Amino acid sequence: MKKVLTTCEFCGCGCNFYLGVEGGKVVAVYPSVSHPVSRGMLCIKGWQGHEYIHSPKRLVMPLIKERGEFREASWDEAYQLIADRLKQTRTQYGNDSIALLSSAKCTNEENYLMQKFARAVIRTNNVDHCARLCHASTVAGLSATLGAAAMTNSIDEIENAEVILVTGSNTSEAHPIIAAQIRRAVRQKGARLIVVDPREVPMTKYATLWLRQKPGTDVAWLNGMMHIIIRENLWAKDYVAQRTEGFEELKKVVEKYPPQVVEEITGIPQDRLAEAARLYATARTAMIFFTMGITQHTTGTDNVKSIANLAMLCGKVGIESGGVNPLRGQNNVQGACDVGALPNVLPGYQSLADSKVVKKFEKAWGNKLPTSSGLTVVEMIKAAEEGKIKAMYIMGENPMLSDPDLNHVAQGLKKLEFLVVQDIFLTETAQLAQVVLPAVTFAEKDGTFTNTERRVQLIRKAVEPLGEAKPDWQIIAELSSKMGYHMGYDHPEKIMDEIAQVTPSYGGIDYERLENGGLQWPCPNKTHLGTKYLHKGQFARGLGLFQPVEYLPPAEVPDEEYPFILSTGRVLYHFHTGSITRRAQGLAEIYPESQVEVNPWDAKKLGIDDGAMIKLTSRRGQLKVSAKLTERVPQGLVFLNFHFAEAPANILTNPALDPIGKIPEYKVCAVKVEREAEQ
Ligand code: SF4
């Protein structure tokens, strides 16, 4: 059996494993024992998720829609049609009438080419990807406070942390291997764990303290902790004086959040909040981990700023086993951001507003570039609905399940004059396209992913592409050449060399140097060994900036008509919109259909039995799904995953946006819960 070392294509942990190949097919998976993250472990998705690679439902030929039906086409015919229609749209309506979605599932090289195609070929900054829907507020919040939008520390530092604070993260299900490291730190090294979460997530079993806040009240408890830390003189005075600015402004704001006020807003008992504040502030090393429970709010950027404020106040950033650590959801969401698949920055987060930067890229790419910021994911769909966006090109994303308020997403996409989707399956979004291009899986191509701890790692081709499917980088390059802008790359390695030339933080990265476990950026030159933790000695922005924020309630709160809060998220066995994991037999068999978590007391009042079909209704839509009665959710809260098209959670969610990060409020919307009438 041939064994090919590669990087997992699911979550941002970035585990490595060997794909076992026999007869041209992936038939087995073996974890890599020497890998710094996985250390010989894998979660069930790593073990079994690969079964979709050889699915008979894979796209194997380009498809063109005629009279409402798809027919197979040659690559040349598909490219010609796309090139003609995009050029025609540009001539008729202008460059900014076209929008492009890149993908956190694709490689760095593919994301780099997609944003280059948008900027240098289509000449628009309307390019974005699903980071907008998970960590846009992290990018905004950490850039403003620390000056770098990434996890500050490394996964292997977890075992030496004295205190670990996990909030808004169901780590055991969304980042299982990081959860395993946290459990090991608690059980074998005596770390004390604080979990702050409205749900009784599995990690609460290992917690010294579990604080159960009301959904959407994070700024209040974070300000409350800082209030106590300042009042009890537990803050890091020298660190704050030497390394930060804005402390007096912070102090003024957090003064307004004494524990009794915080208890009224959040429901967290005063003594528990004080205990958590003391535990965190007095630890020598303490790491904070968070995910979408923090970011997916209209106050997402404020929440992230508050976390950074707390960590700086206690001197916990810029040290080993410390820091502010957003866990990135998808395999390459960090990398897709790093290489510029965002509407307001060029690769390496270099500003579109800086004329020197723009000139550098114009010289490198040989074309004039647009300089005004483009539209974000949700804004693109809204603009399509309003008739301002006329054509979209979507690579590897499925907004028909992933975006909020799906009825409006469908209206927007149906109103487009031209839609191209490039994917491995005929997803819900691809079904609406005029042209569908067959891409390949991670096992059929070379490239790199960047995991949540900024580790750039190789993926290696193990099997040949199915049918006529091609890697996304090759499709973009060929289409670009068809449109008159030559992209002559013959291998992704050449694309990485170009990324390194224009992106300072990737400056020292090349494929040869990535052979043994990857490199963590910043890695500015060929002799640099990569960076284990950020902000050592000095913050990326110079001084760390306290950005005090006031508590604001969620955009939609329960009322008489919609008395429950709906929160959405993941389950262990599935990933994103389920387009991959639901086609992996082993996973689909374990978790075959969606379930909504309902508290047993609420269920009793509503006459709902375990497993019964119930109806959830919000101001935007309704769906039916079976109920799972569990005390994991408190009374008044229901929790639904977003993996199943049959019960699409986002038909209900609120598209209200965080004003800075432009991330939708997936974590709180008001719903009605009803027993479904028996037939
Ligand atoms: Fe893959 Fe994440 Fe599971 Fe590791 S933890 S095997 S990266 S899904």
Which stretch of 50-59, 88-97, 359-368, 525-534 has the lowest confidence by average pLDDT? 50-59
Query: In testing the pocket of ligand 1, which one of 7, 35, 38, 574 has its CB within 8 Å of the most ligand atoms?
Result: 38
Question: Measured in angstroms, how far is the CA atom of residue 173 from the centroid of ligand 1?
Answer: 10
For the residues 184-198, what does the mean pLDDT come to? 97
For CA atoms 280, 284, 290, 294, the dihedral sign is: positive
Q: Is the CB of 15 under 6 A from ligand 1?
A: yes
pLDDT digits (tens, 9 = 90+) for 343-356: 999 999 999 999 99
> How does residue 577 score in pLDDT terms, banded at 50, 70 and 90?
low
* Ligand 1 atom closest to 44 (CA): 3
The better pLDDT of the pair 267, 47 is held by 267
Per-residue pLDDT band at 579 (split at 50, 70, 90): low
- On whether the CB atoms of residues 319 and 283 are closer than 8 A, the answer is no
Q: Work out whether strand 622-629 and strand 564-569 pair parallel, antiparallel, or are unpaired.
A: unpaired
Which ligand 1 atom minimizes the distance to the CA of 38?
A: 4
Check: CB of residue 225 under 8 Å from CB of residue 276.
yes
- Tokens describing residue 375: 């539209």
DSSP code at position 213: P
Mean pLDDT of the chain: 93
Ligand 1 atom closest to Cα of residue 9: 1
pLDDT of 325 reads 96
The larger pLDDT score, comparing residue 659 to residue 197, is at 197
- Name the residue with the closest Cα to ligand 1, atom 4: 15
**Both structure tokens of 548:** 């005090």
Q: If you average pLDDT over residues 62-75, what whole number do you get?
A: 97
Measuring from atom 2 of ligand 1, which residue has the nearest CA? Answer: 11
d(Cα 254, Cα 259) in Å, to the nearest integer?
11
Token representation of residue 455? 């580790």
Q: Which residue has the higher pLDDT, 83 or 643?
A: 83
Q: How far apart are CA 415 and CA 412, in angstroms?
A: 5
What is the Cβ-side half-sphere exposure of residue 369, based on CA atoms within 13 angstroms? 32
Global confidence as pTM: 0.92
Three-class DSSP category at 3: strand
How far apart are the CA of 677 and the centre of ligand 1, in A? 40
pLDDT for 650: 81
Which one, of 150, 678, 648, 109, lies nearest residue 428 by Cα?
Answer: 648
Place of tokens 């005075």: 237
Whole-Å CA distances, 254 to 230, 330, 551, 648, 668: 9, 34, 10, 39, 24
Which of 45, 333, 450, 453 best tests ligand 1's pocket when mutated (most atoms within 8 Å of CB)?
45
Read off the pLDDT band of 578 (50, 70, 90).
low
The CB of 651 under 6 Å from ligand 1? The reply is no
pLDDT of residue 642: 75
Q: Give the model's pLDDT for residue 329.
A: 83
Q: How far is the CA of 35 from the centre of ligand 1 (A)?
A: 13
Q: Phi, psi at residue 344, to the nearest 5°?
A: -120, -5
**Cα of 457 to ligand 1 centre, how many Å?**
14
pLDDT at 678: 61
Percent of the chain exceeding pLDDT 70 equals 99
Region of residue 68 (left: phi > 0; alpha: psi -120 to 50; beta: else): left
For residue 575, give the 3-state DSSP assignment.
coil
Q: Is the pLDDT of residue 249 over 70?
A: yes
Which ligand 1 atom is the nearest neighbour of the CA of 11? 2
State the pLDDT at residue 672. 95
Q: How far is CA 431 from CA 69, 103, 314, 365, in A?
A: 10, 18, 51, 34
Nearest to 462 by CA among 440, 444, 439, 441: 444
Amino acid at 668: V
Picking from 182, 188, 153, 160, the residue whose alpha carbon sits closest to that of residue 170 is 182
What beta strand segments (E) does 486-633 contain?
519-520, 544-545, 564-569, 595-598, 613-617, 622-629
Pocket probe for ligand 1: among 6, 7, 15, the residue whose CB has the most ligand atoms within 8 Å is 15
pLDDT, one tens digit per residue, over 46-67 is 888 888 899 999 999 999 999 9
Is 532 in contact with 154 (CB distance < 8 Å)?
yes
Cα–ligand 1 centroid distance for 571 (angstroms): 13
Using a 6 Å cutoff on CB, does residue 273 contact ligand 1?
A: no
Residue 181 pLDDT > 90, yes or no?
yes
Ligand 1 and 43: CB distance under 6 A: yes
Give the model's confidence band at 135: pLDDT under 50 very low, under 70 low, under 90 confident, else very high.
confident
Cα–Cα distance for residue pair 590/594, rounded to 1 Å: 11
Closest ligand 1 atom to residue 37 Cα is 4
As a whole number, mean pLDDT of residues 284-288 equals 97
pLDDT number for residue 231 = 97
Q: Is the previous residue joined to 438 through a cis bond, with omega within 30 degrees of 0?
A: no
Average pLDDT over residues 370-375: 95
Mind listing the pLDDT tens digit for each residue in 548-564?
999 999 989 999 999 99
Residue 288 reports pLDDT greater than 90: yes
User: Residue 127: phi, psi to the nearest 5?
Assistant: -140, 130
CA 552 to centroid of ligand 1, rounded, Å: 35
pLDDT at 350: 94
Over residues 273-296, the mean pLDDT reads 96
pLDDT of residue 63: 98
Lowest mean pLDDT of 94-108, 167-181, 600-614, 636-650, name the range.
Answer: 636-650
Cβ of 29 closer than 6 Å to ligand 1, yes or no, is no
Q: Is 320 exposed, middle or buried (0-12, 13-18, 19+ CB in 10 A)?
A: middle
User: Quick check: CB of 459 below 6 Å from ligand 1?
Assistant: no
Atom index in ligand 1 nearest the CA of residue 14 equals 7
**AA letter at 477:** A
pLDDT category at 323 given cuts 50, 70, 90 is very high
pLDDT value of residue 573: 72
Provide Rg for the chain, Cα atoms.
24
The verdict on the CB of residue 305 being under 6 Å from ligand 1 is: no
Nearest protein CA to atom 3 of ligand 1, as residue: 43
Angle between helices 136-145 and 300-313 (to 10 degrees): 40
| Residue 47 CA, ligand 1 centroid: distance in Å | 9
pLDDT of 11 strictly over 60: yes
Q: How far is CA 251 from each of CA 142, 144, 231, 261, 396, rounded to the nearest angstrom?
A: 20, 18, 10, 16, 45
Amino acid letter, 143 = S
Residue 17's φ and ψ, nearest 5 degrees, are: -150, 165
pLDDT tens-digit readout, 619-638: 988 989 999 999 999 999 99
The predicted-structure confidence for 512-562, as pLDDT tens digits, reads as follows: 999 988 999 999 999 999 999 999 999 999 999 999 999 999 989 999 999
DSSP SS3 for 52: helix
For residue 564, the cross-strand partners are 671
pLDDT of residue 595: 87
E-strand ranges in 84-129 read 98-101, 127-128
Distance CA 495, CA 300 (A): 34
Residue type, 595: Q
Distant-in-sequence contacts of 518-527, Cβ < 8 A, 24+ apart: 518/14, 518/451, 518/455, 518/456, 518/457, 518/458, 519/455, 519/456, 520/154, 520/453, 520/454, 520/455, 520/456, 521/338, 521/450, 521/454, 521/456, 523/456
- Token pair, residue 532, equals 């284990």
Distance between CA atoms of residues 17 and 37, nearest Å: 11
Give the mean model confidence (pLDDT) for residues 234-240.
Answer: 97
Indicate the top mutation candidate among 11, 183, 291 to test ligand 1's pocket, ranked by most ligand atoms within 8 A of CB.
11
Q: How far is the CA of 14 from the centre of ligand 1 (A)?
A: 6
Rounded Cα gap, residues 227 and 220, in angstroms? 10
